[in-house]
Structure 1
Amino acid sequence: MNHNTPLSPLPLHQLTDVRRRVLTAAQLRAHGVPAAETNEQCRAGGPWQQLLPGVYLLHPGPPTSEERLNAVLLYAARERTAGVPPQPGSGEPHRPVYTEAVITGLAALTLHGFAATPPLTALDTIDVLVPRLRRLRSTGCARIVRTPSMPTAEEVTGLPVAPVPRALADAVAELSDAGAVRRLLTEAVRGGHCEPAAVVRELTQAKLLGRPHVVDAVDSLLAEGRAIAEDRLYTMVREYGLPDPVWNIDLRLPGGPHLGGLDAYWPEHAVAVELDTRAPRQDEDALWSEYARKREHLERLGITVVYITPKKLRESLEQQAAVVRTALMASTDRDPAAYVVVLPR
């Protein structure tokens, strides 16, 4: 028997799908390949190689990036559902089901399309999330990242990948270069991958905000996110034909107290817009109470306040324009608002 001879009734020699060129020992047994034959195929100079414990690459030479990713997932996934081999003669492709294993960190960000991350070929290790109680160790190109709560994976190129905020937190946890951290967080926001609040929430949960270089990057991130949200607010007013407001103002009662700052205000309609850019590092309940008190005070004076989040501006600009337009139109049915002083902020 030579190494070009089929080893089982299933067509292992027809390995056109990357997921079928990387198999576990259990999957090989399901194909009729015993452990002794697997060891023989993986001998020095043989046609196969072992990439990770119990995970084999069914061709010689370096693995591709896709093969490394699949190998890491197969190593980390629970064996009983790590892959479902096709039935003989079914013609169905091999469909792995990576249970309790999710690509994260720099590899995940690269898969999400980040330009600031290294290409997959340049990564010595690939981070993979698993539940905290799983008994696995980091080895070879697989770095195990344990978590008490698995995120809902997003499918990217057919692989389970952590959402951008979680992948960012896991990447930042391994980075000491302040410039690299800043570049990643900035691209996340500028590239429209996620909102600053979601990133800060993950960094907070990962207890990374005690690191000075991370705090500095987060401050820049929040400023960046607010600037982008303000630009989208300007775009909304211009593109959807809303009347021009006065921008970035403070309100005061004549001779009285400061009422608060607003991002946009239509004095003739007594309608205001405020961007809700609360930073998750703060006590959200307390900060929301402050927002609510401010809104209640202004509405007692006859001023309607519309709160808009950066996420809503990014995902539903037309709908937010309709909300503001409705508030402007409804102003004619309200009693006149109290007189207030409008000052530049």
Structure 2
Amino acid sequence: MKRGAWAEELASIRNASVDGVITPKELRGLGVSASSIVNRCLPDGPWQRLLPGIVLLHNGPPSDRQRMIGALTYGGPGSILTGLAGLVSYGYRSAAPSVAILVPHETRRKPHGFVEVDRTRRMPELTERGYLQVAPVHRCVVDAVRRTKDESLCLDLLVTAVQRGGTSIEELAIELSECTTRGTALPRRQLHKLGKGAHSAAEVEAHELYEASDLPPMHLNRDVLDAAGNVIARPDGWLDDVGLAWEIDSLAHHLSVADHERTMLRRSRMQSHGIVVVSHLPKTVRQSPNVVIRELRAAYELAASRPRPNVRMRVIAGESGAHSVDLTV
């Protein structure tokens, strides 16, 4: 493009950018003078300075994607997304207040504006997400939870990543053991709760409430089998000595007609085998803990008052204390 002709060919400039993000060096290579860049990035101009050395070719709020592209450009070669922004690129969250990037330890780059910079000697293998270079899910999750003191957010990030299959409790535990210890106390505690068998934040809250009661120990998310060894259901909680199931009915997972029908069929199947089933909403567990414990205690007494049904819990190798040991399934 001839110098001076760029103003008539703004489409070419946009095509040379990455989603509207471009460097002054690239603009000068397209014939845009340094003074024109400065003028167009003034407060009333059509462009803006997104970050030092980064221009955004419009003057409105940048999108999450533009902020991530800008952060990677600012970080320089070898930089990759991590934390909440990395999870956004995987589709886990809709927005991130800041953009965290990992850069090689020898790279001298300071945090600026919405960009958090983490210099590290443990650069992970990156994943390409369009124009974005992103750390693996387990690294993104751990880098995100190390930056928060919010217990609910920490637990939600860990649970969501595991539930969606992007990582596992084992991968997260390994990453926590290998990273810096700064900010790891909270996620270690929350991951320990998930390691006990809970599959959701609601189940963790329910289990913590239950552990504070005087009721017998409860098994979490274990298959309950009939006399022939067929799986009846996998309740959220199971008291094997009396054949009692506890269900935490999270509305978020039962909004569709199909989900509701599956829940009702599972409950009916358990009851048809003589299992006492008690259920609570996460909201009830959180707001009325005394009511929940009182109802669980009443359900336990009811279950203990009738003959135990002919069902058994699938036993994990090396475990003891269940009503019957499953040696065939």
What is the CA-CA distance between 1:108 and the residue it aligns to? Answer: 1.1
1:182 and 2:181 are equivalent in the alignment: no
CA distance in 2, matches of 1:15, 1:142: 24
Equivalent position of 1:56 in the other structure? 55
CA distance in 1, matches of 2:127, 2:197: 26
Q: Is the 8 A contact 1:18 1:67 kept in 2?
A: no
Q: Is the 8 A contact 2:82 2:100 kept in 1?
A: yes
Equivalent position of 1:198 in the other structure? 171
Aligned letter for 1:189?
Answer: V
Q: Is the 8 A contact 2:13 2:30 kept in 1?
A: no
1:248 and 2:315 are equivalent in the alignment: yes
CA distance in 1, matches of 2:158, 2:166: 10
Structure 2 unaligned blocks of 5 or more:
200-218, 224-228, 232-311
Aligned letter for 1:76?
Answer: G
Q: Is the 8 A contact 2:176 2:184 kept in 1?
A: no
CA distance in 2, matches of 1:51, 1:251: 58
Equivalent position of 1:21 in the other structure? 20
Equivalent position of 1:43 in the other structure? 42
1:265-293 CA-to-partner distances (Å, cap 9, x unmatched) read 43xxxxx9xxxxxxxxxxxxxxxxxxxxx
Evaluate the alpha carbon distance shift between residue 230 and residue 24 of structure 1 in structure 2; reply closer, same or farther with a 3 A threshold: farther
CA distance in 2, matches of 1:238, 1:157: 46
1:127 to 100, 106, 130: 100
Aligned letter for 1:130?
Answer: V
What is the CA-CA distance between 1:13 and the residue it aligns to? Answer: 5.1
Q: Is the 8 A contact 1:208 1:214 kept in 2?
A: no
Q: Is the 8 A contact 1:21 1:59 kept in 2?
A: yes
CA distance in 2, matches of 1:139, 1:25: 18
Equivalent position of 1:219 in the other structure? 192
What is the CA-CA distance between 1:19 and the residue it aligns to? Answer: 1.3
Q: Is the 8 A contact 2:69 2:131 kept in 1?
A: no
Evaluate the alpha carbon distance shift between residue 32 and residue 192 of structure 1 in structure 2; reply closer, same or farther with a 3 A threshold: same
1:173 to 127, 146, 156: 146
> Cα RMSD between the aligned structures?
3.7
CA distance in 1, matches of 2:40, 2:129: 32
CA distance in 1, matches of 2:221, 2:30: 55
Evaluate the alpha carbon distance shift between residue 178 and residue 34 of structure 1 in structure 2; reply closer, same or farther with a 3 A threshold: same
Evaluate the alpha carbon distance shift between residue 249 and residue 168 of structure 1 in structure 2; reply closer, same or farther with a 3 A threshold: closer
Alignment of 1:1-345 (within 5 A): 6-7=5-6, 12=11, 15=14, 19-78=18-77, 100-114=78-92, 117=93, 119-120=94-95, 123-208=96-181, 211-224=184-197, 247-248=314-315, 265-266=327-328
1:152-178 CA-to-partner distances (Å, cap 9, x unmatched) read 111224411111110011111111112
TM-score (norm 1): 0.55
Aligned letter for 1:247?
Answer: R
CA distance in 1, matches of 2:118, 2:145: 13
Evaluate the alpha carbon distance shift between residue 45 and residue 66 of structure 1 in structure 2; reply closer, same or farther with a 3 A threshold: same
TM-score (norm 2): 0.57
Q: Is the 8 A contact 1:246 1:265 kept in 2?
A: no
Aligned letter for 1:40?
Answer: N
Equivalent position of 1:338 in the other structure? none
Evaluate the alpha carbon distance shift between residue 132 and residue 16 of structure 1 in structure 2; reply closer, same or farther with a 3 A threshold: same
Equivalent position of 1:95 in the other structure? none
What is the CA-CA distance between 1:125 and the residue it aligns to? Answer: 1.7
Identical aligned residues as a percent: 28
Aligned letter for 1:61?
Answer: G
Structure 1 unaligned blocks of 5 or more:
79-99, 232-236, 240-244, 253-257, 267-271, 273-345
1:294-321 CA-to-partner distances (Å, cap 9, x unmatched) read xxxxxxxxxxxxxxxxxxxxxxxxxxxx
